[in-house]
Chains A and B, each alone.
Chain A
Amino acid sequence: MRDAIIISLVFHVVVLASGMIAIPMWRDDKPTEMRVIPVEMITVGEITKLRAQEKKPDPVKKIADAKKKPAQRKVEMPPEPPKLASTMPLPDIKSKPKKKIKDKKPIKTAVNRAPRITPKTKPRRFNVGKLAVLLDKREQSEPNIIEKLKDRDFGPEKQISSLDLEQQILSIADAIDKHIFDNQCWNVPAGAKGAAGLRVTVQVRLGPDGELIGAPKVVQSSRMTMPGQEFFRTAAESALRAVRKCAPYDFLPKDKYDLWRDMEIIFDPEHMLNG
């Protein structure tokens, strides 16, 4: 009887947990999670430009707190929150973070920066589900996390906003994009017909030193060998060449290795070929 109750309880909890956590992930493409965009834009742009500067404590969290985010955007975190909190080098913001908020109207700033940031932000489709994913990454790097969770009885932990992590992710993504462009790693396949179908996603795994681990993989790699898909194969090979030529990615923040160990780089030649 007692076992039956326990089993019943387990299944109920599993179903409920799956529903609570996984369903938002399935709604990946819904744009409702993009409400935080204006604030992100300000931060990401500055982080990207200043990524080589000295690392300082994080002012972004303060900004985020000042904005009084809704409760549903806060997520329970595992231990050692200071490591997880945003520590991206943000000296410029750090110097006068609050003044910046006062001086600049966020919406106006966002509009000014929109041509550069908006198209990059939207496809990332960040949501709360992905935050949990990132926590999982951390767990993989520290195998004893489950033990820690167990020992602490799931007591209240320091909370971190989804905004902080999203800012870090966007900053890293932006830095990689800039690195690939500045180093002229990606040579767009010229003259291909049907550029719209030539979007290539490459899965990359990096070591802590920023070197590639294993061969980068093309999602839909089976399409590369199909007859009549020569232009896709060319596009995919140009993407692979770009990823390899640009290695190592040693400029990425070492303390955020968990975030950039695995990533997907999407190469889309449409603007180049049609523009």
Chain B
Amino acid sequence: MRLLKRLMTAIAGLALTIFSANARIVVDVNRGHADPLPIAITDLVGSENDIVSGGSVQDYGKRMALVVKADLTRSGLFRTVDSGAFIKSGNALTSLRNPNFSNWKAIGAQALMNGSISLQEDGRLKVEFRLWDVLGSSQMTGLRYYTSPKNWRRIAHLMSDAIYKRLTGESGYFDTRVVYISESGPATAKIKRLAIMDQDGYNHVFLTTGKNLVLTPRFSPTAQEITYLSYHGDNPRVYLYNIDSGKQEILGDFPGMTFAPRFSPDGNKVIMSQAYKGNSDIYVMELRTRKIQRLTKHTAIDTSPSYSPDSRYVTFNSDRGGSQQIYVMDADGKNIKRISFGKGRYSTPVWSPRGDLIAFTRQYKGKFYIGVMKPDGSGERLLSESYLDEGPTWSPNGRVIMFFRQQPYDRQGRGGETQLWTVDLTGYNERQIITPLEASDPAWSPLIR
């Protein structure tokens, strides 16, 4: 009997052990918040006695931290903690590798970036930074760069990209440039010049003189190369412009009017629309062979073509259904399907580099909107609204859209200024990009390699 008791006890113990592995309350959390992540960005620690052109190494460290702060804040996904709240403790250099996490936690920071900058014997700057998980008390990433002092902004953007990628999981977009049409002069005789700048508006350069009208610049997705349209007399020509070399070449003279040239995702083709004898259709040109293939043949106006990132499909704009709407077809011109069915007119469809959305301009009841929809036409969301919003272009990570906005004219004919704006996919983070003159028709570059 005693043996039996022991056995039963052992069995009970066994049963309890079997279940112990699953002995947990399970909490389902599916409600969260979409607030910016609080991150502390400290100045890069550097010597004030080492002087390079433009200031001390310490000054460069401060400036770079400011650029990183501005990049991350502008993305809308981060909130930088006010440096006035930073709690100073211990030696600045030793705390680079051993941050006092409780101090950073106390001021609400959930991530921390710190780092150092120093001058090398060869005149280059050595910049290194670390990103820390404050709540987890661990390092998330750490990188080191060597660069000429004149590239300091670019290094700061690369740091922003690294932080953005580590904390969001997707590639950044800060080390990029934007090409656009700079406009000046009266509305009736505007001088339009091709201009390029960093995505935050700095390092601005005019690429053309303004002698000839330029339109629709577009970046190659694979190289620092631009295609754009320029008029010589009455003849529009499609040009290729290499930013690094400054070399410019004519892609070809086309019969009739050519509009909206845009690169294919591999950079080997240019897709565009051509108007010939009053009818506009979609054509594609192989850049290597200059061979042209016609994709649509319809009496309606087909224009603004854009490839999907896998090159399998093309979205374009057509009034073949009676009003201007967005269509998607196979890359060979077959299986044309209409995807926009809302009220008003849809135009300038642009496929996201991520492939999941198509950005467009919608005109309805006297207002313009920039919106996005899925490639099958579902899930339409309008992100911006104004008197005139036009010309969406995607950041290379497919998270932000840049476009241009025109102010309304008043009764005296004043107004009508155009500026560049960005909006992210939430639609809540709309920001103007400051340019020296008026600006329109932006095109966002891929990440600079």
Whether B18 and A21, one on each chain, are in contact in the complex, defined by CB atoms closer than 8 angstroms, is yes
Q: Which chain A residue lies CB-closest to B31?
A: A181
Asked if B133 CB lies within 8 Å of chain A CBs, one says yes
Whether B22 and A181, one on each chain, are in contact in the complex, defined by CB atoms closer than 8 angstroms, is no
Asked if B354 CB lies within 8 Å of chain A CBs, one says yes
Known pairs A230-B165, A241-B110; A6 contacts B3 (CB<8 A): yes
Query: B29 contacts which chain A residues (CB < 8 A)?
Result: 177, 180-181, 186, 242, 265-268
Select one of A13, A169, A231 contacting B11, CB under 8 A.
Answer: A13
Query: A150 contacts which chain B residues (CB < 8 A)?
Result: 5-6, 9
Asked if A135 CB lies within 8 Å of chain B CBs, one says yes
- A-B pair count, CB < 8 Å, reads 174
Q: Nearest chain B CB to A202's CB is how many angstroms away?
A: 9
Q: Which of B32-40, B181-189, B281-289, B340-348 participates in binding chain A?
A: B32-40
Whether A186 and B12, one on each chain, are in contact in the complex, defined by CB atoms closer than 8 angstroms, is no
Whether B7 and A215, one on each chain, are in contact in the complex, defined by CB atoms closer than 8 angstroms, is no
Known pairs A136-B23, A264-B25; A272 contacts B32 (CB<8 A): yes
Known pairs A136-B19, A180-B29; A203 contacts B24 (CB<8 A): yes
Known pairs A21-B15, A153-B5; A124 contacts B26 (CB<8 A): yes
Select one of B5, B11, B26, B169 contacting A234, CB under 8 A.
Answer: B169
Whether A191 and B168, one on each chain, are in contact in the complex, defined by CB atoms closer than 8 angstroms, is yes
Query: B32 contacts which chain A residues (CB < 8 A)?
Result: 181, 186-188, 242, 267, 269, 272
Whether B22 and A119, one on each chain, are in contact in the complex, defined by CB atoms closer than 8 angstroms, is no
Whether B20 and A136, one on each chain, are in contact in the complex, defined by CB atoms closer than 8 angstroms, is yes
Bound Cα distance A21, B22 (Å): 13
Query: B3 contacts which chain A residues (CB < 8 A)?
Result: 6
Whether B27 and A264, one on each chain, are in contact in the complex, defined by CB atoms closer than 8 angstroms, is yes
Would you list which residues of chain B between 8 and 66 have a CB under 8 Å from chain A?
8-9, 11-20, 22-35, 37
Asked if B399 CB lies within 8 Å of chain A CBs, one says yes
Bound Cα distance A193, B168 (Å): 11
Asked if A154 CB lies within 8 Å of chain B CBs, one says yes
Bound Cα distance A263, B25 (Å): 4
Count residues of B near A (Cβ-Cβ below 8 Å). Answer: 48
Query: A191 contacts which chain B residues (CB < 8 A)?
Result: 77, 168, 170, 399, 424-425
Query: B356 contacts which chain A residues (CB < 8 A)?
Result: 193
Whether A234 and B167, one on each chain, are in contact in the complex, defined by CB atoms closer than 8 angstroms, is yes
Whether A120 and B170, one on each chain, are in contact in the complex, defined by CB atoms closer than 8 angstroms, is no
Bound Cα distance A172, B24 (Å): 11
Query: B9 contacts which chain A residues (CB < 8 A)?
Result: 146, 149-150
Q: Which chain B residue lies CB-closest to A275?
A: B30
Whether A240 and B23, one on each chain, are in contact in the complex, defined by CB atoms closer than 8 angstroms, is no
Whether B7 and A265, one on each chain, are in contact in the complex, defined by CB atoms closer than 8 angstroms, is no
Asked if A112 CB lies within 8 Å of chain B CBs, one says no
Q: Nearest chain B CB to A64's CB is how many angstroms away?
A: 20
Query: A230 contacts which chain B residues (CB < 8 A)?
Result: 165, 169-170
Would you list which residues of chain B between 243 and 293 have a CB under 8 Å from chain A?
none
Whether A237 and B28, one on each chain, are in contact in the complex, defined by CB atoms closer than 8 angstroms, is no
Asked if B85 CB lies within 8 Å of chain A CBs, one says no
Q: Could you say which of A120, A153, A189, A215 has the most chain B C-beta atoms within 10 Å of its C-beta?
A: A189
Query: A9 contacts which chain B residues (CB < 8 A)?
Result: 4, 7
Select one of A119, A130, A173, A232 contacting B27, CB under 8 A.
Answer: A173
Whether B354 and A193, one on each chain, are in contact in the complex, defined by CB atoms closer than 8 angstroms, is yes
Q: Chain A interface mostly helix, strand, loop or mixed?
A: helix
Whether B170 and A192, one on each chain, are in contact in the complex, defined by CB atoms closer than 8 angstroms, is yes
Q: Could you say which of B4, B5, B28, B165 has the most chain A C-beta atoms within 10 Å of its C-beta?
A: B28
Q: Nearest chain A CB to B448's CB is how many angstroms away?
A: 21
Whether A272 and B30, one on each chain, are in contact in the complex, defined by CB atoms closer than 8 angstroms, is yes
Query: A146 contacts which chain B residues (CB < 8 A)?
Result: 9, 12-13
Asked if B90 CB lies within 8 Å of chain A CBs, one says no
Query: A14 contacts which chain B residues (CB < 8 A)?
Result: 11, 14
Bound Cα distance A132, B54 (Å): 72
Q: Could you say which of B4, B5, B30 has the most chain A C-beta atoms within 10 Å of its C-beta?
A: B30
Asked if A133 CB lies within 8 Å of chain B CBs, one says yes
Asked if A160 CB lies within 8 Å of chain B CBs, one says no
Query: A110 contacts which chain B residues (CB < 8 A)?
Result: none
Whether A272 and B31, one on each chain, are in contact in the complex, defined by CB atoms closer than 8 angstroms, is yes
Whether B169 and A22, one on each chain, are in contact in the complex, defined by CB atoms closer than 8 angstroms, is no
Asked if B426 CB lies within 8 Å of chain A CBs, one says yes
Asked if B437 CB lies within 8 Å of chain A CBs, one says no
Asked if A176 CB lies within 8 Å of chain B CBs, one says yes
Asked if B135 CB lies within 8 Å of chain A CBs, one says yes
Query: A124 contacts which chain B residues (CB < 8 A)?
Result: 26, 28
Query: A181 contacts which chain B residues (CB < 8 A)?
Result: 29, 31-32
Asked if B136 CB lies within 8 Å of chain A CBs, one says yes
Would you list which residues of chain A between 234 and 275 have a CB under 8 Å from chain B?
234-235, 237, 240-242, 244-245, 259-260, 262-272
Q: Could you say which of B13, B32, B354 has the most chain A C-beta atoms within 10 Å of its C-beta?
A: B32
Would you list which residues of chain B between 131 and 163 have a CB under 8 Å from chain A?
133, 135-136
Query: B110 contacts which chain A residues (CB < 8 A)?
Result: 241, 245
Known pairs A17-B15, A130-B22, A136-B23; A233 contacts B169 (CB<8 A): yes
Q: Nearest chain B CB to A24's CB is how many angstroms away?
A: 11
Known pairs A13-B7, A119-B28, A137-B23; A188 contacts B33 (CB<8 A): yes
Bound Cα distance A40, B432 (Å): 53
Chain A 154-175 interface 0/1 with B at a Cβ cutoff of 8 Å (1 = within): 1000000000000001001100
Whether B26 and A264, one on each chain, are in contact in the complex, defined by CB atoms closer than 8 angstroms, is yes
Whether A259 and B135, one on each chain, are in contact in the complex, defined by CB atoms closer than 8 angstroms, is no
Q: Could you say which of B9, B12, B136 has the most chain A C-beta atoms within 10 Å of its C-beta?
A: B12
Besides A188-B32, A232-B169, A269-B32, 4 other CB < 8 A contacts? A25-B19, A186-B33, A191-B425, A241-B110
A residues contacting B by CB (< 8 A) are 6, 9-10, 13-14, 17-18, 21-22, 25, 119-120, 123-125, 129-130, 132-137, 139-140, 146, 149-150, 153-154, 169, 172-173, 176-177, 180-181, 184, 186-193, 203, 215, 230-235, 237, 240-242, 244-245, 259-260, 262-272
The contact sample of 29 A-B pairs, CB cut-off 8 A, is A6-B7, A10-B7, A21-B15, A22-B18, A25-B22, A132-B19, A133-B22, A136-B17, A137-B20, A137-B23, A149-B12, A173-B26, A176-B25, A184-B35, A187-B37, A189-B168, A191-B424, A192-B169, A203-B24, A230-B169, A231-B170, A234-B167, A244-B136, A263-B27, A265-B29, A266-B27, A266-B29, A267-B32, A268-B30
10 closest A-B pairs by CB: A234-B169, A230-B169, A188-B32, A263-B25, A133-B19, A186-B32, A136-B16, A244-B135, A231-B169, A133-B23
